[in-house]
Amino acid sequence: MKYMKIVFFILLIGCLIYSVSIYMVGSGTFSFMIWIAAAAFFGLAFFFSGNGRWLKVPVALRKTSYCLMTVVLVILITCFAAMASHFWDKGEKDLDYIVVLGAQMRDYGPSIIFKYRLDAAYTYLSENPDTLCIVSGGQGANESISEGDGGKEYLVSRGIASDRIIAETKALDTNENVRYSLDIMRQAAGSDKQLKIGIVTNNFHVFRGVHLAKKLTDDEVCGIAAYTFPWYLPNNMVRECFGLIRDFSKMEW
């Protein structure tokens, strides 16, 4: 138990430090609270691991706690495994469309996580000149421009012809990103043509984007994984677990 106390204390401090680093990003979300909650959990574990306190807790409560921790752990491992299965997706050559899933626009341009997605789209479009691109995302309360329009402007500024890029500006979440983009493609292509589609988003997000699309269309769908800065990957992956749980019934498994 002495060594476990040390482990719990290190995890407590680590979660607090990490929560501060996530808060300092200023993303406008409250995901830093996940790490404060984790710090509180490890703080309790540190407290109960000393002086035989845990053994003084009623057996029923201890068993319930073990069950809850096991369920949470299984869910996390399952979600992480699903994300990892698409972490290195590179797409296929000569797709008909790629869809860039939106992320936050700032006053100076795309947020860093959105920029990674757009840069991956830029690379793909440069190497596949016949592919069209849909940048999907509406305008949030803290955004001065829609994610679709802002993303299109960024790609045009990098030299991609504007007539190759379509801005979808209504979607407010990942499911709508995919659904509204598929509607645009189907209206342009008609009902008979089988399309080849790539979903462009950060590596931790590809699984959800691809499997939402596969639930909504019989067209061929693949993922194109964009970079994520490693320090922020744990936060993004834990957040993505909530998205996977929320969209569970909307995805093809």
Whether 192 and 155 map to the same domain: the answer is yes
**Is residue 62 within 8 Å of residue 54, measured between CB atoms?**
yes
Whether 77 and 104 map to the same domain: the answer is no
Question: What are the residue ranges in the chain where pLDDT is below 70?
Answer: 1, 28
Whether 164 and 209 map to the same domain: the answer is yes
Whether 57 and 120 map to the same domain: the answer is no
Whether 35 and 155 map to the same domain: the answer is no
Domain residues for the domain of 165 are 97-250
**Is residue 215 within 8 Å of residue 179, measured between CB atoms?**
no
Whether 60 and 108 map to the same domain: the answer is no
Whether 32 and 114 map to the same domain: the answer is no
pLDDT at 51: 87
- Residues with Cβ within 8 Å of residue 75, at least 6 apart in sequence: 241, 245
The beta-strand segments (E) located in 112-238 are 132-136, 165-168, 196-202, 220-226
pLDDT tens-digit map of 167-213? 999 999 999 999 999 999 999 988 788 999 999 999 999 999 999 99
Whether 133 and 177 map to the same domain: the answer is yes
pLDDT at 1: 64
Residue 109 is part of a domain; what is its CATH number?
Answer: 3.40.50.620
Q: In what order do the strands lie in the sheet with 132-136?
A: 165-168, 132-136, 97-101, 196-202, 220-226
pLDDT at 88: 97
Whether 147 and 123 map to the same domain: the answer is yes
HSE of 96, CA atoms in CB hemisphere, 13 A: 15
